[in-house]
Structure 1
């Protein structure tokens, strides 16, 4: 995922305050003069994911009995004081298969967010990257502030459930005050519960962790697969350590040249495009579309549903109601992938009959909420990283002046995306920059893959990334498809190009197109 919309429904996720100190990471108070680059990792069977990681059971072995192993890497809490206190960065790996003499090294994945746990995501996604195991150990990690890597803690689960009933798209002064007060309370809770970590979760910090990881894993170069926000992290790494870049792929590319407002505006247009495509697809089916007769009818009915929910929520998952904001969050979650369109159709059919359960399930997945009511720290981490990275602080008055532009991009999602911009206004840590610096002269080629139908990271971001990386670095590959990302679409053309580069070093022709 890439910088998910941060309204009260999507920004103010929480994790319980009663997490044990062990879950908060493996910090050391006195590392002395230890050279962290020479540390030896102690790989063990992976435990069940913590609540902050999303809960659930321990990862199952891959079909070839590939066992998952986890370890904790020490990293400086503050990279400006590399000999100071350390934190633990949680890693997971499955070893390469096949001829050991052909092993290239480790291929490190970041799946996005920011705020997603790589330790839980990689096992669930690994079968889609199985071919890459023929020459790489597949490795991922919880970035600092995420999961088991000193997770940022804010409000508790009960407070969050209450927050999610608030209106994230205020229509009057009272609703606006409620939104701003709620945002201020959430941000204050983050400062109260995670004050020591908040200044140290910037993407530049995570990039330095990546270079330490490279060395600790024994690789001369960083071989990397970044998806969504992972492309921004990869770009920042390439800027800081251009000579250390090995074979790298950026898929579902964040535009590094846009400020937060510009990215939010682009996302509003991207999700509107995905909704247009969903409506076209539904109404083109021979068996008919149960949620509208024409694409415009589908969108009109969704707009009416959201308008009605603003004043009269319907039953969601007891005891919670499906509000306008929760329904919008659920719709957006389903638009991330064409695979979810059938669930969106189902959820809309049910909602028109007064049952908001499916749309609420989709919203819960977007917010990191499990059926037992526990939240991962996906969104606290997302807010913390974004607010530490992004310099602009948008006021309510500014957002109101920009609403016409957002509504022009999407009449359904514009308000939702615009009001998300107030999330960092009262943040306790100053933001670093308007946008990340990814210029990387001297770097090895980086394969940059853009999807023309990507809602969360619109296609134009891939070309911007190529240009920002600099001449001779970024190599653009276009996929004419739907959904967030290209490699996970299973398109043979895309996978052959990516596999050929990562496994054999074959750089595709710049400007290649797959459909």
Structure 2
């Protein structure tokens, strides 16, 4: 097991507090009820979307290279159903507090853009229209919340309050399930029961020749399951193809340019879009910027250092409390967590999970990593560690791991993890031989005593994958983009470390094309209404085209 470097959906921040304060291990379904916008008449939406037109604005008659059946699409918007388990489960989103309804639809796209007359797939969409007067409307703002593998249809209703200023300012807020994700031709590998079984058998990262052989066998078995269940789809779930889907979405929405807000992996997707369609780039924000470095060892080491830094910042803060379960200083805290994970590998902790699951070393590590994505989650990490270290219970760490892994209250998994693996391996299926991986062990342990070993084995993440070469490498250069792409990076970001943003800026075309806003703080992603400095800069860029100069810092 490894920590995916750009995996994190921002749902944890929206749901965690409610889950833990509503009674230990409250269901994820209940937490979503608090996050989805509802008015006094929630549940009273109509089939036509509450009086809003079910058809998008007219579009041009053609789209280069596509048959008329695809080029002349108009999105048929209608009332949303509840998110499916593959999208993350939860209640149906009806309407916001101002009675604006949620609307859902589909966009048909080619499976293979090199064969546009061939097989097609449907992409799931969601939107909520702007509350601004018609004269002030700015078109659509399309979101990708990260992963790869995160469902935009499931995520946007949970996070909509963070973007209310943008909706009020003139944008329809739109998101989608990228190809291979959620309900857009989902990649499926293992059953829910098989995923649980694998997690329960986890005894930590490989440390012996026998462990390594088992790791290889498990990886090859997983790849074979993905091929058996999703084989025809796997070569086509690339970031390049998703960027092409976004441009067809722009066309179907009737927008001359794509206005876009990408977070985490969504920044990678946005940069690829800018490379492929520079003339169609509209007002764009890339928050929690991915490192474009193609060297997997260098990138994984940076990720390990990022998580270690975030953990040490948490431990430093915890140590100021006399009751901190990890001790009074960072060094003691790191050692305590290392010992905890080693102990879990030898003897998992019991939980109150209705399916009888124990807290294994891998689930414990995942739970810890999950809480590091937001400083707001640190109090829950303290609760979870106190519970594990002093009460002998793994309940809260298991809850944190379940949020991270996309497991709902009924034991059903979203397809975030199989989609993540499939998209990463479609973009770059090359994998490092086992002997080469082992040679980097000391580097990774030095980079992160807690997370390094786990991340080390991610270097073999595509072991056994059914194809060996990417159909089309990603490129990020967009010096002729029609509008600047505002990059936002946080100095304490664990999942997309700050250093990578400068490399992405250079890859896109430099500070004039991609100015960088630095957020001095913690967590994965900087834009929230509570961060006035970042919000003012981003809102000015998106709503008024007032792009801040390179080098702005928010503290």
TM-score by length of 1: 0.92
Instruction: List runs of 5+ in structure 2 lacking aligned partners.
Output: 9-65
Picking from 169, 172, 183, the partner of 2:219 is 183
Picking from 343, 348, 360, the partner of 2:385 is 348
Q: 2: distance between equivalents of 1:173 and 1:371?
A: 37
On the 8 A contact 1:260/1:434 being kept in 2, the answer is no
Q: Deviations over 1:326-345 (max 9, x none)?
A: 11111111111111111111
Matched, 1:89 2:123: yes
Q: 2: distance between equivalents of 1:298 and 1:489?
A: 32
Offset at residue 198 of structure 1 (A) = 0.3
Partner of 1:225: 261
C-alpha RMSD over aligned residues: 1.7
Matched position secondary structure for 1:393: coil
Offset at residue 262 of structure 1 (A) = 2.2
Q: 2: distance between equivalents of 1:224 and 1:478?
A: 19
Partner of 1:17: none
Matched, 1:68 2:102: yes
Matched position secondary structure for 1:164: helix
Picking from 500, 511, 514, the partner of 1:461 is 500
Offset at residue 34 of structure 1 (A) = 2.9
Partner of 1:159: 194
Give the alignment of 1:317-396 within 5 angstroms: 317=353, 318-352=355-389, 353-396=391-434
On the 8 A contact 1:201/1:384 being kept in 2, the answer is yes
On the 8 A contact 1:454/1:485 being kept in 2, the answer is yes
Q: 1: distance between equivalents of 2:349 and 2:132?
A: 55
Partner of 1:242: 278
Q: Deviations over 1:205-249 (max 9, x none)?
A: 000000000000000000000000000000000000001001000
Picking from 528, 533, 544, the partner of 1:488 is 528
On the 8 A contact 1:259/1:434 being kept in 2, the answer is no
TM-score by length of 2: 0.85
The 1:449/1:325 distance shift into structure 2, 3 A limit, reads same
Offset at residue 60 of structure 1 (A) = 4.0
The 1:390/1:33 distance shift into structure 2, 3 A limit, reads closer
On the 8 A contact 2:87/2:414 being kept in 1, the answer is yes
Picking from 545, 548, 551, the partner of 1:505 is 545
Offset at residue 167 of structure 1 (A) = 3.2
Partner of 1:402: 440
Q: 2: distance between equivalents of 1:429 and 1:53?
A: 27
On the 8 A contact 1:34/1:83 being kept in 2, the answer is no
Matched, 1:205 2:241: yes
Offset at residue 324 of structure 1 (A) = 1.1
Instruction: List runs of 5+ in structure 1 lacking aligned partners.
Output: 6-31
Q: 2: distance between equivalents of 1:454 and 1:489?
A: 18
Matched, 1:170 2:206: yes
Give the alignment of 1:125-164 within 5 angstroms: 125-133=159-167, 134-164=169-199
Q: What is the count of residue pairs matched by the alignment? A: 488
On the 8 A contact 1:60/1:123 being kept in 2, the answer is no
On the 8 A contact 2:259/2:281 being kept in 1, the answer is yes
* Worse-superposed segment, 287-296 or 431-440: 431-440
Q: 2: distance between equivalents of 1:170 and 1:411?
A: 15
Offset at residue 187 of structure 1 (A) = 0.9
* Worse-superposed segment, 36-45 or 234-243: 36-45
